[in-house]
Chains A and B, each alone.
Chain A
Amino acid sequence: MKKLDLILCALFFSLIIAATPSDAYEKAMQSAIESLFSAESLEDYQTVSNSFDRIAKKEAKKWHPIYYKAYAHVIMSTMIQGATEKDDQLDAAMELLIAADELSPNNSELLTLEGFVHMIRVTIDPGSRGPEYAGQSMGALQKAIGMNPKNPRAHMLLSDMQIGMARFMGGDNSEGCATLKKALELYENEEAANALDPSWGKEWALSKKGQCE
């Protein structure tokens, strides 16, 4: 009987061990994600990027922390001045996305973020970079939609590219507006399979509705 106690004890003990880290992972991630979407200053973003970095180092097989760290760098690239500084952030984001791709190949969200990186590259110097990076951005976003036709973020960013392109070329923006409409529909019906999956962008999409009215 004493033996059984010990086995029970060991079982209980191992259950705690097994359960604690992943709970802690979820908890740490949720708290970091919360900080990410409430970050305001560059320092806030750097701090939250560090948080994801720590989680990514401990959980070497998870793509989520790398993804969010990359996202933080993309946002930081839009907040700082100077082409070199912006490129440094985007380079960091791209490096992370390549690492995340190894852990989670053919992931529509990772490609969406890659499309976002190329999009910011265009904005740094539209005259000289537009032709190359606009194509790469739209290519990545269309690929992301191919992998998951219900990805609202890929649609939203694609609509941004299409509308921007139409404005630059003096064409009409009906194509981009149709994509934006689709993005808004998808946001309405979006259900995250995993609490850590990306769910950002809805408010951004809503704020752009005005361009199409």
Chain B
Amino acid sequence: MKMQYTLLLGLTLLLAYTPSMSQNWIKGTVETAKGEAVIGANIYLEDTYDGTSSDLEGRFLFQTGEKGAQILIASYLGFTDFKQTIDLEHDTLVISIVLRENAFELQNVVITAGAFEAGGEGKREVLKPLDILTTAGATGDIAGALNTLPGTQTVGESGRLFVRGGEGYETKTFIDGMQVMSFYSAAAPNTPGRSRFMPYMFSGTSFSTGGYSAEYGQALSSALILNSKFLATQNRTDISLMSVGADVGLTRAWENASLVGKVQYTNLDPYMGLINQGIEWVDAPTSGEVSLAFRQKISSSGILKLFGNFNQTDFSLDRRDLLDPTQKTRTTIGNQYLYLNGIVQEVVGEDWTLKGGLSYTRSDDDIRLNEVVVAEEEAGLHAKLILSKTFSNNTALKIGAEYFDRQFVQHYHQSTDLFSNQYDFHERLGALFVESDIYLTSSLLARAGLRSEYSALNQRFHLAPRLSLALKTSAKGQVSIAYGRFQQAAERRWLMVANDLGAEKADHYILNYQLSDKGRTFRTEIFQKDYRDLVKFLPGAGQLATDFSNTGMGYAHGLELFWRDSKSLRNVDYWVSYSYLDTERNYQDFSAQVSPHFASKHNLSVVYKHFLNPIKSQVGFTYTFASGRPYDDPNAAGFMNQRTPIYQDLSANLSYLFRQNIIVHLSASNVLGLDQIFGYEFAHAMDETGRYPSKAIRPPAKRFLFLGVFITLSKEKTMNQLPNL
């Protein structure tokens, strides 16, 4: 009797708890807010296996043995999960589900005004990191490659990025968000400096020609934001043998950490000896460099990056006096450079991301001009803390604080008459910023930011508002506008003399249209830039400036076009950039508002790359055109009303995959041998005929040739340095 009772009870329980016994149907449709069917959405009961996917019409139907109150979930990539408590009482339940877009996940609008992204592969970037490295004429120089993009002006004797009527110093570089000072290596007068850091270090580049985020301060015209690579995954050794030197890189990878070390030595003496130079080198540039990068995954969401770079460069040359060519000035320059950068990032609390960073730059120059010794020492510290979070209601928030500390000292000593002098300044600057991305609709994104800065040096407080809007106008097109106020401390050469000089300011207004289809991008941008508070002074006796003030001003406006196509022709990738620029300014010792010497009205670049499978090589060509640049001829009437001849260059390169792990790289600038004139130098005094003697500023040699062999040793034998070239 008891036994039967037990069995009966057991059987009842079995009946009650075996799912297949009594089933309910759940059916319905899944649509977007616009009423479009969602195909392939996942519809299920929470914490059960019961569920299904929506079909081509957005319909779904499934069975469940669950009873009582259950939570029904519908999810689809790019949409916020739909959740509803349902009561499984009836045989069939019919539910209409409407999914709301999660704009941050969809990323269907991105702010493109002013910004050229070269981020993660395949995403919405215009240039990939690798593109930067295989551009002919750039010889692996970051700035060299970016100079083929619209918004930049060809200023060949400098090698720097001159953006939209701005001077070279108005472009600031950041590595992982941290400031880099002296981004360009030391170079002889009127010869181009190179970007100090090798492009292979970076996985993403964002080159902004205006209107950038409130996170970036102390940059008047442009921000070059470089994101370093994270963990290296494999052990490898890289050896490079180049016509100008050699380097060895070692990579060690562990489970959650990696270390990359590199030693480089370059010496231009043999090359300069071989090819006739326009410069009388006593000792051509020689440099030694060591860099170390350590990366660690500190938790499933936390990362640590440490990077250090040390470089020593020396060179010496003779410069002939323009008035009396028998007189030579021996110029000897030695530069020691140290850059340290560390960042740590972790998720804290309720999905907040905390990022802390610290960078330190030290750059010491020892300059000797005959008997004059000028020693310049600059040290800069940058600390930054950012908290950011993406909220489910289509809003993201970023708040941050920054501190800059910069010390500069210049010692001037003349041994002949025992004259000594010293200039210095110590700038401390604090900043707070807040910025929010808000999807007003799924196709309209707004970014509003505010940055405040206080400088202890001139005791001035600034507010800089920034605003961008991006509207998706069609599946492939979008319009963006941006406005921002930007400021930057006066250049150190003026600040050291007049410590109380205020910051220079610029307002940017940008209108951008971008159309991107698979493998093809068209973009156009018009901009207006208003400069004010530029440094102004009077030329005093003995070339010493006096009467410093922030009364300079100027403007720039223009139109830019960009077209890139990597699809139409097989194995071919090309892009064309055109910039029209109209700019004038009255700054420094200018006597009127005129176009400055670095601004050319028309700039055109055509970059062509072709991968030739049969010969396992990539060939590339870059053509650059720039209309004449203004210069002032003291022998002619008027101020800055002369123009240099137009500038043209055709550069070529070839990368040949000799073995799986060996690449041979050859590049040449100015293959047509055109006469390239960047400007003119004039003597400071008249000669006996009453004229100021002059000299054209040209590249040191007609062409620059480069040959390198890059060897990679790894266990897999397949890796090579192609991504590094």
A-side residues, CB < 8 A to B, are: 1-2, 5, 8-9, 12-13, 16-17, 20, 24-25, 28, 43, 46-47, 50-51, 53-55, 57-58, 81-84, 86-88, 92, 102, 124, 127-132, 134-136, 138-139, 142, 161, 165, 168-170
Contacts A1-B2, A86-B122, A88-B122 known; 19 new A-B pairs at CB < 8 A: A16-B14, A17-B17, A43-B39, A43-B40, A43-B55, A46-B39, A47-B53, A51-B53, A54-B42, A54-B50, A57-B47, A84-B122, A84-B123, A92-B77, A127-B618, A128-B128, A139-B234, A142-B715, A169-B659
**What is the bound-complex CA distance between A65 and B657, given in angstroms?**
41
With a CB–CB cut-off of 8 A, which chain A residues contact B51?
A: 50-51, 54
Binary A-proximity of B493-523 (CB < 8 A = 1, otherwise 0): 0000000000000000000000000110000
Check: B473 CB closer than 8 A to any chain A CB. no
B2: A residues at CB distance < 8 A: 1-2, 5
Chain B residue numbers with a CB within 8 Å of A55 are 49
Q: Which stretch (B5-13, B484-492, B595-603) binds chain A?
A: B5-13
Query: A83: which of B122, B233, B715, B716 is its contact (CB, 8 Å)?
Result: B122
User: Do B660 and A165 touch (CB < 8 A)?
Assistant: yes
Given A47-B40, A131-B720, A165-B660: A87 in contact with B233 (beta carbons within 8 A): no
CB-defined contacts of B9 to chain A, threshold 8 Å: 5, 9
In the complex, which residues of chain B have a beta carbon less than 8 angstroms from the beta carbon of A83?
122, 518-519
In the complex, A17 Cα to B56 Cα: how many Å?
A: 37
Task: Kindly state whether residue B393 has any CB partner on chain A within 8 Å.
Answer: no
| 30 A-B contacts (beta carbon < 8 Å) | A5-B6, A5-B9, A9-B13, A25-B49, A43-B56, A46-B39, A46-B40, A47-B53, A54-B48, A54-B50, A54-B51, A58-B48, A58-B49, A81-B518, A84-B123, A86-B122, A87-B121, A102-B300, A128-B130, A130-B722, A131-B718, A131-B723, A132-B722, A134-B718, A134-B719, A138-B716, A165-B660, A168-B616, A169-B657, A170-B616
Asked whether B625 is an interface residue with its Cβ less than 8 Å from the other chain, the reply is no
Say which residue of B233, B300, B518, B720 sits within 8 Å of A136 (CB atoms).
B233
**Within 8 Å of chain A (Cβ to Cβ): is B571?**
yes
B714: interface (CB < 8 Å):
yes
Q: How far is the CA of A138 from the CA of B13 in the complex (A)?
A: 55
A5 to B10, CA, bound (A): 10
Give the contacts of B7-29 with A (CB-CB under 8 A): 9-10, 13-14, 17-19
Return the chain A residue nearest B3 by Cβ.
A5
Assembly CA distance A50 to B54 (angstroms):
10
Tell whether, in the assembled complex, residue A169 and residue B723 are in contact, meaning their CB atoms are under 8 Å apart: no
- Inter-chain CA distance A206–B186, complex, in Å, is 61
Bound together, the chains give a CA A85 to CA B93 distance in angstroms of 36
CA gap between A130 and B616 in the complex, in Å? 12
**A2 to B5 Cα, complex, angstroms:** 10
Nearest CB of A to B157, in Å: 32
Among the listed A9, A127, A132, which residue makes an inter-chain contact with B6, where contact means beta carbons less than 8 Å apart?
A9
* A127 to B18 Cα, complex, angstroms: 57
Determine whether B44 belongs to the interface, using a CB cutoff of 8 Å to chain A. yes
The answer to whether the Cβ of B563 comes within 8 Å of any Cβ in the partner chain is: no
Instruction: Determine the distance from Cα of A25 to Cα of B47 in the docked complex, in whole angstroms.
Output: 12
Chain B 52-90, CB-CB to A under 8 Å as 1, else 0, gives 110110000000000000000001010000000000000
B403: Cβ under 8 A from any A Cβ: no
* Interchain nearest-CB distance for A16 vs B (Å): 6
CA distance A138 to B715 in the complex (A): 10
How close is B46's CB to chain A, nearest CB, in angstroms?
8
Asked whether B44 lies within 8 Å of A16 as measured between CB atoms, the reply is no
Contacts of B590 in A (CB 8 A): none
In angstroms, Cα B661 to Cα A165, docked, is 12
Q: Which residue of A lies closest to B73 (CB)?
A: A57
- In the complex, which residues of chain A have a beta carbon less than 8 angstroms from the beta carbon of B52? 47, 50
**Minimal beta-carbon separation of B658 from chain A (angstroms):** 10
* Residues of B590-641 contacting chain A, CB below 8 A: 611, 616, 618
Contacts of A20 in B (CB 8 A): 17-19
Residues of chain A lying within 8 A (CB to CB) of residue B719? 131-132, 134-135
Closest beta carbon of chain B to A30's beta carbon, Å: 12
In the assembled complex, the CB of A213 is this many whole angstroms from the nearest CB of chain B, namely 24
Q: Which of B211-242 contact A (CB under 8 A)?
A: 233-234
Q: Which A residues are in CB contact (< 8 Å) with B121? A: 87, 129
Q: Mark B313-327, 1 if CB is under 8 A from A, else 0.
A: 000000000000000
Known contacts being A84-B123, A127-B571, A169-B657, is A135 close to B718, with CB within 8 Å?
Answer: yes
Mostly helix, strand, loop or mixed at chain B's interface?
loop
Closest to B720 in A: A131
Among B6, B40, B49, B123, contact of A54 (Cβ-Cβ < 8 Å): B49
Residues in A whose Cβ lies below 8 Å from that of B44: 54, 57
Nearest residue, chain A, Cβ from B234: A139
Query: Interface code B556-568, partner A: CB below 8 Å = 1, 0 otherwise?
Result: 0000000000000
Do A50 and B233 have beta carbons less than 8 Å apart?
no
A124 to B567, CA, bound (A): 13
Question: Chain A CB within 10 Å — which of B46, B56, B723 has the most?
Answer: B723
Whether A16 and B571, one on each chain, are in contact in the complex, defined by CB atoms closer than 8 angstroms, is: no
In the complex, the answer to whether A46 meets B17 with C-beta atoms within 8 Å is no
Identify which of A8, A57, A169 contacts B616 (C-beta below 8 A). A169
**Which B residues lie within 8 Å of A16 (CB)?**
13-14, 17-18
* Chain A residue with the shortest CB-CB distance to B571: A127
For A142, the chain B residues whose CB sits under 8 A away are 715-716
Give the docked Cα–Cα distance between A136 and B234 (Å): 8
Residue in A17, A25, A135 whose beta carbon sits within 8 Å of that of B234 in the complex = A135
Q: Choose among B40, B616, B657 the residue with the greatest number of A CB atoms under 10 Å from its CB.
A: B40
Check if B17 sits within 8 Å of A139, measured CB to CB.
no
A50 close to B53 (CB less than 8 A): yes
Q: How far is the CB of B615 from chain A (nearest CB, A)?
A: 10
Distance of B521 from chain A, by nearest CB (Å): 12
Instruction: Identify the closest chain B residue to A83 (Cβ).
Output: B122
Residue pair B718, A165 in contact (C-beta under 8 Å): yes
> Are B718 and A138 neighbours in the complex by a CB distance under 8 Å?
yes
Bound Cα distance A128, B245 (Å) = 26
Closest chain A residue to B49 by CB distance? A28
Docked Cα-Cα span, A134 to B2, in Å, equals 71
Asked if A9 contacts B10 (CB within 8 A), the reply is yes
For the complex, give the distance between the alpha carbons of A115 and B239 in Å: 26
Is there an interface contact between B122 and A124, defined as CB atoms closer than 8 Å? yes
Output the residue of A12, A102, A127, A169 with the most chain B CB within 10 A. Answer: A127
Q: State whether A131 touches B722 (Cβ < 8 A).
A: yes
Output the nearest chain B residue to A21 by Cβ-Cβ distance. Answer: B49
Q: Least Cβ distance of B538 to chain A in Å?
A: 54
CB distance from B62 to the nearest CB of A (A): 10
Q: Which residues of B contact A54 (CB under 8 A)?
A: 42, 44, 48-51
B residues in contact with A81, CB < 8 Å = 518
User: Which 7 pairs of residues, A with B, have the shortest CB-CB distance?
Assistant: A87-B122, A135-B719, A46-B40, A50-B42, A131-B722, A47-B53, A127-B611
A5 to B6, CA, bound (A): 6
> Once the chains are docked, how many angstroms separate the CA of A62 from the CA of B477?
43
B18 cross-chain contacts in A, Cβ below 8 A = 16, 20
- Which chain A residues border B611 with CB–CB below 8 Å? 127
B residues less than 8 Å from A17 (CB atoms): 17
